Amino acid sequence: MDSKPVSATSLGAYFQVNGSALSKHYKNFLSGFYQWDQLEHAEEWILYPENIGTSLCLDEVSLSDGELYTVLTNARARCQKGSLIAMIKGVKSSTVSEVLKQIPLGKRMKIREVSVDMANNMEKIARTCFPSAFVVTDRFHVAQLISQAVQEIRIKYRWEAIEQENQLIKRYKQEGIKYKAHCFENGDSRKQLLARSRYILFKTSNKWTNSQKARAAILFREYPKIKEAYKLSMMFRNIYETSFSIPEANEKLTQWFIKVKEKNFDAFITAAESINSHKENILNFFRHRTTNALAESFNSKVKAFRSIFRGVKDTAFFLFRLSRILA
C-alpha cells in the first residue's frame, strides 16, 4: 500500500480480512500519516523541492467535485517516482507562486523550460517562479484550438441541417405525406453526414478508412467551406510536423496567418488571434520539441488513483498516499 495504488478494501478482500478495519489501522498506525511533515498544510499544498529538474510541466487537475489543484511535475521523471514537485489548491497565480517560491531561488534559476497550456495564469506562474526558463505552450492544446475551429463550422452546418429537416417534416405532416430523408450515395442523410464526419476532421487524410474517404468526398463536395477549414487545420498541423527551428516555424506560421485572413472564417480568425498572442511561447516548442503530454499523463494517473479511493473523503490522506507513490 506504500508503493502501489491499491485500496485497503481491495487488499482486504484478497487476504480475506475486513477492508474497513484494515484501512483504519493502516491510516492510524502503519502508514506514518500522522507523522507526515506536510500534514499541517496538505489540504492546501504539498511541496517536494528535491524532485525539481531542468524541465518542468505545469498544469491543473480536478481531484473531486470540480476542485482544482495546480500540479508541477518533473518531466524527466516521466510520471514515475520523483515526478511530483508540488500540488497546490486552486489556480490563482499569486497563491500558487507564493508556495513555489519556497523552493530555493538557486534551484528555480536552474530550470531550463516550463511547459504550460494556453491559460494566462499558468504562464504568469511560470515566469514569476522560474525567471530564467523558457515558457513553452503545449502543442496539443494549440492543435485542439484549431480542431475546435473546424468543428465549429461543421456544427453550424449540422444545426442548419437539423432545422431544415424539422421544417420539411412539419410541412410534409401538414400535407399528409410521410417524410423520408434524402440519402447520399454512402447511405448517410445530410444530418447524419455532418454528425458522422466529426472524427474524420481530426485525422489526416492518409489515416482515413475507405468508408471515411467516401464520406469525406461527399462532405467536401456538399460543404466546400468545411473542406477549406480542414485544409487550414492540416496546414497548421504541418508546421509542427515539418519545422525543426524557430525561424522555419515562424515563417510557416506567418504564411498560415495570411491564409486564415484570406479565407475569413470567424472561428479561425479568433483562433489565429489567440495563437498570435501566445506566439513566442508556441515557437519555444521548436527549441527542444517539449510538450505537456507528460503532465496530462500524470493528471490521468491522479484521476485513476482518485477513482480507486472514491470512498476516501480525507483529501490530506489521499494526497499522502499519492505522494508516497509519485513524490
The helix (run of H) or strand (run of E) holding residue 312 is none
Kindly report, residue by residue over 297-325, the tens digit of the pLDDT. Answer: 777 777 777 777 665 567 888 888 888 88
Cβ neighbors of 285 (< 8 A, separation 6 or more) are: 136, 137, 139, 240, 249, 291
Identity of residue 85? I
pLDDT for position 80: 82
List pLDDT tens digits, range 131-148: 999 999 999 999 999 999
**Looking at residue 41, what is its pLDDT?**
95
pLDDT of 16 over the 60 cut: yes
Bridging pattern class, strands 113-116 and 55-62: parallel
Which distant-in-sequence residues (6+ apart) come within 8 Å of 169 by Cβ?
179
Q: Are residues 215 and 309 in the same domain?
A: no
Same domain, 295 and 170: no
201 with 224, same domain: the answer is yes
Q: Are residues 251 and 313 in the same domain?
A: no
Beta strand 113-116 with 134-137 is: parallel
Beta strands in the chain (DSSP E): 45-47, 55-62, 68-74, 84-89, 113-116, 134-137
pLDDT of residue 76: 86
Q: Say if 5 falls within a structural domain.
A: no
Q: Give the total residue count for the chain.
A: 327
CATH (domain of 53): 3.30.420.10
What's the whole-number mean pLDDT along residues 195-221? 96
Confidence of residue 3 (pLDDT cuts 50, 70, 90): low
Q: Give the per-residue pLDDT at 304.
A: 75
> Is the domain of 261 the same as that of 172?
yes
Mean pLDDT of 74-89: 89
User: Residue 327 has which C-alpha cell?
Assistant: 513524490
More confident residue, 288 or 220: 220
Predicted local distance difference test score (pLDDT) of residue 144: 93
Q: 62 and 76 in one domain?
A: yes
Burial letters 148-176, b for 16+ CB under 10 A, else e: ebbbbbbeebbeebeeebeeeeeeeeeee
- Could you give the percent of the chain with pLDDT greater than 70? 94
- Model confidence at 199, in pLDDT bands (50, 70, 90)? very high
User: Whose grid coordinates read 494566462?
Assistant: 120
CB count within 10 Å of CB 50 equals: 10
Say if residue 238 is in the same domain as residue 283: yes
Q: How far apart are CA 97 and CA 45, in angstroms?
A: 12
- Mean pLDDT, the chain, integer: 90
229, 251: one domain: yes
Q: Quick check: 160 pLDDT over 60?
A: yes
For the stretch 223-236, pLDDT in tens is 999 999 999 999 99
278, 202, 247, 245 alpha-carbon torsion, rounded to 10°: 110
Instruction: Lowest mean pLDDT of 6-15, 27-36, 159-168, 230-239, name the range.
Output: 6-15
pLDDT surpassing 90 at residue 113: yes
Scored b (16 or more CB within 10 A) or e, 7-46 reads: bbbebbeeeeeebeebbeebbeeebebeebeeeeebeebb
Count of alpha carbons within 13 angstroms of residue 106, beta-carbon side: 1
* Domain boundaries, position 85: 39-137+291-317
